[in-house]
Structure 1
Amino acid sequence: MPVVTEIAVFYYGFICWKKTILNENEFSYHKDSGTITLLIAIIFIVAIETMVLHTLLAKWNHLAAWILSFLSIYSGVQLFGFLKSMSKRPISIEKDKLNLRYGIMSETTIELTNIDQIETWTKDIKLDENTRKLSFLGELESHNIIIRLKEENTLLGLYGIRRKYKNLVLHVDTKEEFINRIRTATR
């Protein structure tokens, strides 16, 4: 899985530039959440930190300066790939499944028959082994929907890390339409 994640970072960051047009069964999650702005700010900070640290380390050891610079640039490239993947991988409702994606950072597929309850939820929530967030940013990103399941499911994260959950909180740009579509599909 780590190799696949690395390939996906470069694919979404540098190859896949075509604008994604959402179908009626697809929903975006990146436009209103502030995540794009946060990731751009982090990339900017990494760029500044790389230049300053390289200059300081070069006075001590050129090899160490270049190694650290390479690692910092690679981190920036990864963040850029994560950022670009968010608009390319929307949430989708297929026949009897809900495909939840958060770029290439996390994803899960939920059988619609396994959904016990879905509702608008903006209150703080304690994240634990039963309650997870779709976003890899955790508390740094807001959520507006909670999905409660009848049976436990698995959230697949970066580099193939698997986590079990029974409640999942996430952000969807058009939350009311999304909730109505799920409720209609589960009837």
Structure 2
Amino acid sequence: MSIQLRKQKVTLYIFLMTLVIFSNYAVYTFPVLESIPKSAVLGSLFDFLVVCPLLTYFFILRKRYSLKYMVPVIFAGYVVAKLVIPHHYLAPYSFIPYLFIAGELAFVALELFILYKLIVKLPTIIRTFSSMKSEWPYVSVRLQAAVGKHVGVNPLIHALTSEVTMFYYAFLSWRARPSQSCYPTFTFHKKTSVIAMNIMIIHAILIETIGFHYLLSEWNHIVSWVLLILNIYTVLFFIGEIQAIRKCPFIISDKKMIMQVGLTKCLILPIEKIKNMDYYEESSKLSKQEEKMLFDATVSDLFKQPPQFEITLKEPVTAYYLFGKRKQVNKVWVTVDEPESFLQVLKPKG
């Protein structure tokens, strides 16, 4: 998606969210009605618990993030509802927080069941995981392959292994050396500001966490602790992202090129599938269909630069994204720290 189109979507999202919130706020603030009917309160709850989360899904989460993020989004909608709707109107609906708790417990129970299946087969998974080290140097790819072989493949398995990978890079990767390989490897972050940008985001989240936790604890302890846990999880994700970017350079073997971009995306590209590879030439904007079939193997940057290379494939290849999302791609954009060496190694193979 182009930057301009993304800005338009964000602008429209902000406008619609503001419209929903302000219209509901007006109902309870301005003396238009002598008494607020019960249907108006139900309508407001529907707006905050259904309409706003759906807007967030279609404008922000869809095709980019896991559905599990809908839980905090709906919870945030309930928090806004409590701020907008006077307390005495919400009193008959005091059971709503318990529905969130029940839903979350059901999800946790399902994850625990899957975790139980993993623990039962853990010795076999560990042996397979260790035996795949030479074939799959990256922890995330190797873990997905080992677990998938013995437990099966489904979205929850992918979500669970993605979280395990995140915690590995956040806590256990500091003394580990970058993925070792007898094949050429290429880093892709040293000439960008992606590490600095992620550190800035962590810094901002920590400052926001301290301030908001103090303010919200004066109003509602449960909300303040929920947001604190979510912010801690977000900080761990960005720490894991930094480590995954540092520890996982692109690898080009005789038969495949492995490109893991942080925690968020990965492409295992068979060399035989490469149709053409050359320097990127900025041309007309990609169509929506072309964007859907594109794997952008570049990192986010404060000053976004065009990719260095464009690789066209003979046929679509599956790319993997965070929490098990996948899509078919037929074009790859790549940026590396040593572009000339990268071109010399890959182009003869293609």
TM-score (norm 1): 0.89
User: What is the number of equivalent residue pairs in this alignment?
Assistant: 186
The range that moved more, 30-39 or 76-85, is 30-39
Q: Please give the residue correspondences for 1:1-187 in structure 2 after superposition, counting only pairs within 5 Å.
A: 1-17=158-174, 18-20=176-178, 25-121=184-280, 123=282, 126=286, 128-135=291-298, 137=300, 141-142=304-305, 143-186=307-350
Alpha-carbon shift at residue 14 of structure 1 (Å)? 1.0
Closer/same/farther in 2, CA of residues 107 and 117 from structure 1, 3 Å limit: same
Contact 1:9 1:78 (8 Å CA) reproduced: yes
Amino acid at match of 1:48: I
Distance 2:172 2:271 in 1: 33
Residues 20 and 88, structure 1, Cα contact 8 Å, conserved in 2: yes
CA contact (8 A) 2:205 2:231 kept: yes
Shift, 1:164, TM fit: 1.4
Any unmatched runs of 5+ in structure 1?
A: none
Task: Report which of the two has the higher share of strand.
Answer: 1
Q: Give distance in 1, aligned partners of 2:302 and 2:193.
A: 13
- Tell me the distance in 2 between the aligned counterparts of 1:91 and 1:7: 22
The alignment partner of 2:269 has SS state of: strand
Post-superposition CA distance 1:107-153 (Å, at most 9, x none): 11111121112122273763612223124749974322211111111
Does 1 or 2 have the higher relative contact order (CA < 8 Å, sep 6+)? 1
Per-residue Cα deviation, 1:72-110 (whole angstroms, up to 9, x for no partner): 011101111111111111110112111111123211111
Return the structure number with greater helix share: 2
The alpha carbon displacement at 1:25 in A equals 0.7
- CA RMSD of superposed structures (Å): 2.3
Contact 2:179 2:248 in 1 (8 A): no
SS in 1 for 2:219: coil
Q: 1:26 to 1:66 in 2, by over 3 A?
A: same
Q: Kindly indicate whether the alpha-carbon contact (under 8 Å) linking 1:106 and 1:135 is maintained by their aligned counterparts in 2.
A: no
CA change 1:122–1:45 in 2 (3 A) is farther
| Equivalent residues of 2:193, 2:302 under 8 A apart | no
**2:314 and 2:330 in contact (8 A); partners too:** yes
- Structure showing greater Rg: 2
Q: TM (normalized to structure 2)? A: 0.49
SS at match of 2:177: coil
Deviation of residue 7 (structure 1)?
A: 0.8
Identity %: 25
Change (3 A) 1:169 1:97: same
Q: Which runs of 5+ in 2 are unaligned?
A: 1-157
Q: Contact 2:297–2:332 at 8 Å: present in 1 too?
A: yes
Offset of residue 19 of structure 1: 3.4
